[in-house]
Amino acid sequence: MVMRKRYRRRVGQTVAAVQLRLDTDGLRYRKWGHDQLAKPGDWLVDNGGDVYTVDAEIFEQTYRPYHPDIAPGAYEKVAPVWAEPATAAGSVATNEGHTDYVSGDWLVSNHEDGSDAYAVSSEKFESLYEPDE
């Protein structure tokens, strides 16, 4: 039985982001225990010092500019997520590659069915998200 519940980003939690509008075959980097690959058009996100990429289509569906006239490059996640705590260590496939997680981390998805998933440490998840009831 899936224990996934709906959450929303806490108010005032913004990220800095820039779109990778470059003529490139992609941006390869190592994070979360695996090689990651960002495609041209994806977004490079700085989430409180945690830097990673987000698929262009997913970014457009889930983020909105945060006061673009006074804070250009700042975005807030406005779409809900579905999440559940991991009961054992493992790895989850992401749009960019894979992410390792340990028991107690949160498995987060941008879709209720669990697709477009990623893992977040318990501490980070609790600071960023709250139940969306």
Proportion of the chain in helix, strand, coil states, percent, rounded to 5: 10, 45, 45
pLDDT tens digits, residue range 89-106?
A: 999 999 899 999 999 999
- Report the predicted TM-score, pTM, of the whole model to 2 decimal places: 0.86
- Residues 20 and 41 sit within 8 Å (Cβ to Cβ): yes
Q: For the residues 79-91, what does the mean pLDDT come to? A: 96
> CA 73 to CA 80: how far, in whole Å?
21
> CA 10 to CA 128: how far, in whole Å?
6
- The DSSP H or E segment spanning 56 is helix 56-62
CA dist 62 → 22, 56, 87 (Å): 22, 10, 27
